[in-house]
Amino acid sequence: MFSELALHDCLLKATTKLGYTKTTPVQQKAIPLAMTGKDLLVSAKTGSGKTAAFLLPSLHRFLENPAPNSGTRALVLVPTRELARQVVKQCEQFAEFTTMKSAIIIGGEDFKFQKSMFRKNPEVIVSTPGRLAEHIDAGSIDFHDLEVLILDEADRMLEMGLIEDVLRITKSCNPQRQTLLFSATLKHQGLNDVIHQSLKNPESLVLDSHKDKHSQIQQQVILADDYDHKDKLLAWLLEHETYNKALVFTNKKVQASRLSGLMRYKNNRAGMLQGDLSQEERNHVMGLFRNQQIDVLIATDVAARGIDVDDIDLVINYDMPRNGDDYIHRIGRTGRADNEGRAISFVTSFEWNLKAAIERYIRHNFEKRTIDGLAGHFKGPKKVKNSGKKASDKKRIDSKDGDNKDEPKNKNRRRDRKNIGKRRTPTEKSGSGKTAHTRSDDGFSPPKKRV
Ligand code: ADP
Ligand code: MG
């Protein structure tokens, strides 16, 4: 219960107004610890309520120790603009009954206007690293008074190539500050640098492995032959499934554009979210989706990062995500805060191995589903008979005629296991800070765009 957390009355009033009564496990554990002033490393799955877990103890601390002449007291760094908006909105809601102010500093908005926001001296700044680093370079802000630094979705910032900026920012912050790092996983090798350089004797809280199955999400696969078959399956599902809001993922931008056109043609109220949209277009689409003016959103992974729309109850993977972590992030968009959801993935013969690897990674086998009248030819790989054959046998049953292309290759298993969940290429940063490519475009280059 929130009332048992010894939070300031103004904050309890706000949580009650928001309808928060029970704390989520990460809030239950992280809030009291953060209130002691310790540095924390926290991993908990998407949708588990991490935002309140770092905002509430920070706001509490500021209410207990007023510092009217202080500069910025808390800085929250997040990977995407969308997420920054959501965090600042939550902060405003929690601070409603206080005089504390928050500000958002993200790319794509007027630099001079942002400078004027600093002069108002907000207690909390929520920002994406690229733009904030530019402000620090330009001398428009300093964080010498900072009391709490929060790195939210640190794994995503790492994957998006933003860590250099993050480290530059953390170096310029008050060394006496408290640092709270949140991540879906703490096992990311690249995080070690950030942890060593930004945190002091942190306490680790591993709430639940990010691999834990989302028990309230039904996870299904439908076998598909090709794109044409997938189009038919998608149209059928959008017409016949029961849902409030559906989020459809593709791996490529062109595919997202094509599908949103096709689904609109088939009388769906569909919109599209992909990395090329301007901030204004993006806000417009998100607004339509939030207000239920459209109920289908077709998105690429990068564009969908940080989406927090409460009542998404159907996620469709038109393309299988490229790794286990992306799968977890995609399905985490549904079933938030214990709502029920369904995730349906289309799997062609080319995606079979990926599906199997993701199942191993999340330790959960998908439920197989077929749709009457739309069953394809691909039924999964044929059974391999191992009866007494040695692994070294050249004549493998599954490949002797060369016609069994759908068969998963057992010989690659070890490598599969090692690499699943990891990015395919090291993240590297572009000198210019501007690149047209994002990982979801070509599948290989990490996004390097400043946000
Ligand atoms: P995470 O950052 O872990 O992915 P969020 O902080 O975005 O999760 O929270 C997910 C959703 O759950 C948000 O809509 C949030 O308002 C809601 N939520 C968080 N904590 C609670 C709570 N204790 N009671 C009810 N809803 C909550
Ligand atoms: Mg979050």
Q: Mapping DSSP to helix (H, G, I), strand (E, B) and coil, where does residue 18 land?
A: coil
Task: Confirm whether 2-206 and 217-368 share one CATH topology.
Answer: yes
Look at residue 57 in the predicted model and tell me its pLDDT: 97
Measured between alpha carbons, how far is 185 from 399 in angstroms, rounded to an integer?
38
Give the bridge partners for 250, in sequence order: 300
Q: What are the C-alpha distances in Å from 209 to residues 73, 132, 187?
A: 31, 31, 10
Residues with beta carbon inside 6 Å of ligand 1?
A: 20, 22-24, 27, 44, 46-52, 308, 310, 336-337
Least confident of 145-154, 357-366, 378-387: 378-387
Q: Is the pLDDT of residue 406 over 60?
A: no
Q: What is the CATH number of domain 2-206?
A: 3.40.50.300
Closest-CA residue, ligand 1 atom 2, reads 50
Tell me which residue of 139, 184, 170, 197 sits closest to 77, measured CA to CA. 170
- pTM equals 0.59
Look at residue 385 in the predicted model and tell me its pLDDT: 55
Mean of pLDDT values over 59-88 = 93
Q: Which amino acid is at 305?
A: R
Look at residue 306 in the predicted model and tell me its pLDDT: 63
Q: Is the pLDDT of residue 448 over 80?
A: no
Cα of 134 vs centre of ligand 1, distance in Å, is: 31
pLDDT band for position 278 (50/70/90)?
confident
Judging by beta carbons within 10 Å of its beta carbon (0-12, 13-18, 19+), is residue 204 exposed, middle or buried? exposed
- Span 217-368 CATH architecture: 3-Layer(aba) Sandwich (3.40)
Closest-CA residue, ligand 1 atom 22, reads 20
pLDDT band for position 208 (50/70/90)?
low
Highest-pLDDT range among 175-179, 241-245, 402-406: 175-179
Those residues whose C-beta lies under 8 Å from the C-beta of residue 3, and which sit 6 or more positions away, are 12
Q: Is the pLDDT of residue 98 over 70?
A: yes
What whole-number percentage of the chain has pLDDT above 70? 81
What is the DSSP track for 122-146? -SEEEE-HHHHHHHHHTTS--BTT-
Look at residue 339 in the predicted model and tell me its pLDDT: 65
Least confident of 37-41, 204-208, 215-219: 215-219
Residue 8 has which token pair? 């300031």
Q: Is the pLDDT of residue 52 over 60?
A: yes
Measured between alpha carbons, how far is 341 from 181 in angstroms, rounded to an integer?
28
Tens digit of pLDDT for each residue in 151-188?
Answer: 999 988 887 889 999 999 999 999 999 999 998 777 77
Cα of 413 vs centre of ligand 2, distance in Å, is: 33
Look at residue 110 in the predicted model and tell me its pLDDT: 93
Question: Comparing 104 with 391, which gets the higher pLDDT?
Answer: 104
Q: Is the pLDDT of residue 390 over 60?
A: no
Per-domain boundaries in the chain: 2-206, 217-368
Closest-CA residue, ligand 1 atom 18, reads 49
Testing ligand 1's pocket by substitution, the residue of 51, 310, 325 carrying the most ligand atoms inside 8 A of its CB is 51
Residue 421 has which token pair? 């969940």
Q: Is the pLDDT of residue 403 over 50?
A: no
Tens digit of pLDDT for each residue in 281-294?
Answer: 888 999 999 999 99
Look at residue 186 in the predicted model and tell me its pLDDT: 79
Cα of 66 vs centre of ligand 1, distance in Å, is: 27
pLDDT band for position 301 (50/70/90)?
confident
Question: Comparing 41 with 424, which gets the higher pLDDT?
Answer: 41
Closest ligand (CA of 78) = 2
pLDDT band for position 442 (50/70/90)?
very low
Closest-CA residue, ligand 1 atom 20, reads 49
Look at residue 338 in the predicted model and tell me its pLDDT: 57
Cα of 444 vs centre of ligand 2, distance in Å, is: 25
pLDDT band for position 386 (50/70/90)?
low
Cα of 306 vs centre of ligand 1, distance in Å, is: 13
Those residues whose C-beta lies under 8 Å from the C-beta of residue 230, and which sit 6 or more positions away, are 224, 318, 346, 348
Q: Is the pLDDT of residue 64 over 90?
A: yes
Which residue matches tokens 């908006």?
85
Measured between alpha carbons, how far is 418 from 436 in angstroms, rounded to an integer?
30
Contact between 313 and 339 (Cβ < 8 Å): yes
Q: What ligand 1 atom has the least distance to the C-alpha of 337? A: 12
Cα of 158 vs centre of ligand 1, distance in Å, is: 23
Q: Is the pLDDT of residue 411 over 90?
A: no
Look at residue 435 in the predicted model and tell me its pLDDT: 34
Least confident of 273-277, 364-368, 430-434: 430-434
Q: Is the pLDDT of residue 401 over 70?
A: no
Look at residue 337 in the predicted model and tell me its pLDDT: 58
